[in-house]
Structure 1
Amino acid sequence: MLNDVSTSLEDIQEEFLKLVYKETILIGHSLENDLLALKVSHDLVIDTAVLYKHPRGGSYKTALRVLSRKFLSREIQDSCCGHDSIEDARATMELALLKFKNGPDFGSPKQFVRKKLLAVLSESGKTSSFIDDVSIVKRYASGTCHAFPVSSDDEALSRASKEVKNEKVHFVWTQFSEINSYFKNQVDDDEKFNARLAELIAFLTCQNKSSARKGIKCSVPSTLKEILTRTDSRIHKLYSHLPVNSMLIVFTGQGDTATIHRLRKMLTEESKTEICREKLIKVLEELQAQAEVGLCFVGIKH
Structure 2
Amino acid sequence: MRETGLLCVGIGTLLLLAGCFSSPKSEERLLAEKFDYDFYLAGKNTPAEYMVNQIAAADSSRAKAILTGRLIPADPEEVARAGETIRHLDSEIRKGLSWPEKTPPAVAIPFASVAPSIDGACDETAWNHALTFRDEYPLSSRKKEPSGTVWRVMWDETFFYVGVTIRQDSPRAEPYNPAGGRAPWRADAVELFLGPGIRFRTYWEIVVAPDGSVYDALGQNNRWGSYIASPEESVRGLRAAARRTEQGFSVEIAVPWREIPGYQRGNPPRPGEEINFTLVRCRNGIQSVCHPLLYGGHNLFGHLRGTLAR
Instruction: Give the TM-score band, short-chain normalised.
Output: under 0.3
Higher helix share: 1
Higher strand share: 2
Q: Which entry has the higher C-alpha Rg, 1 or 2?
A: 1
Q: TM-score with structure 2 length normalisation?
A: 0.24
Q: TM-score with structure 1 length normalisation?
A: 0.24
